[in-house]
Chains A and B, each alone.
Chain A
């Protein structure tokens, strides 16, 4: 599949937003969108890890699994790589960049269970992206994730002030709001889809 990079960026951020259209990473979407600051922190951590994870899983798949005909070990290999990568990033950041570590710190361990990371790694392999497309798609998908997160956090900060039924509070209203945001993002798919 030959795609120009601008198309990949547009589709990954807006038209096929990883969260609102492909439903990857809904758990952190419900969990860390109570405040804008936390959602920005989570978003930054995801951009950081997703880009590195996309590159490393691509290299492992194309230079290790494919040559030895081990494609069926993809899921196991990827999840192990991602969880050890998260640990590694944590250790390296702690030593080399304590400021960034303090900012991202608590979000890093949560990322292991963020299906968006594994999802993007698998999508890259399925779509036969080359290394450049992989990097671009990783960054763009993570930016789309962050945008969705921050929009939701902004709305939820306002929702806290609203008087509503206790039955709908929390998850219920968050999901319905997500539906409305998703509808808005669907408008972009009229311009271009994959």
Chain B
């Protein structure tokens, strides 16, 4: 049995959903043009993951195993709709920027994966910790990628100019190909760090 702190930290480093497991890559690539969008997407996914993990864990003895997948999908879709409506009401700018990728949180393999692999077999408390760890790992990855792309592509981070006028922004990193390339290089860096720290 893993301890509660292991459940929390594994989502951030050893089993980081983006850098290690490569789950839910569509929003990772699509919305990280700026750091703030990446962070917003991460928080939205974190909220859905947290709520779905809690509910899935609560109903774990009730739902027959045979229909569990449709049940999970329904639970996740409900919370995604809530996030969609709330963002539209209170953060219309972010809602506009994330666009189609808010409803697409439904098919984010990370959330389904945690429901299937963790929440349906564990207590509510442990599921909450698991969701927080995974969600923070996901948010962290999106924010880091967002910062890298924003600095290289526009010379700013979170909208603040940090490189000065001498730096010529590389428009490539603000465009779709740049997303693939930046994430590929970040994976390389993350793998190197993991190896140095001995998490392997």
Which residues of A come within 8 Å of B, CB atoms?
Answer: 20-27, 30, 72-76, 79-80, 83-84, 112-115, 118-119, 122-123, 126, 165, 167-168, 171-176, 178-180, 182-183, 186
Residues of chain B lying within 8 A (CB to CB) of residue A24: 26, 104
User: How many CB-defined contacts (below 8 Å) exist between A and B?
Assistant: 118
B144 smallest CB distance to A (angstroms): 15
Main secondary structure of the interface of B (DSSP, over half): helix
Cβ of B162 within 8 Å of any chain A Cβ, yes or no, is: no
Contact B103 A75 (CB under 8 A): yes
Kindly state the separation between the CA atoms of A168 and B29 in the bound complex, as whole angstroms.
18
Residue interface mask B59-84, A partner, CB < 8 A = 1 = 00000000001100110011011001
List 17 other contacts, CB 8 Å, given A80-B74, A167-B195: A22-B176, A25-B26, A26-B29, A30-B25, A83-B73, A115-B108, A119-B104, A122-B100, A122-B104, A167-B188, A167-B192, A168-B188, A172-B187, A175-B180, A175-B183, A175-B187, A179-B181
Kindly state the separation between the CA atoms of A171 and B190 in the bound complex, as whole angstroms.
12
Across the interface, name the chain A residue whose C-beta is closest to B103.
Answer: A75
B63 smallest CB distance to A (angstroms): 16
Most buried by B among A72, A79, A173, A179: A179
Across the interface, name the chain A residue whose C-beta is closest to B108.
Answer: A115
Contact B176 A30 (CB under 8 A): no
A183 touches which one: B26, B104, B177 (CB < 8 A)?
A: B177
Which residues of B, 158-200, contact A by the 8 Å Cβ criterion?
A: 172, 175-181, 183-185, 187-188, 191-192, 195
Kindly state the separation between the CA atoms of A128 and B176 in the bound complex, as whole angstroms.
25
Contact B107 A20 (CB under 8 A): no
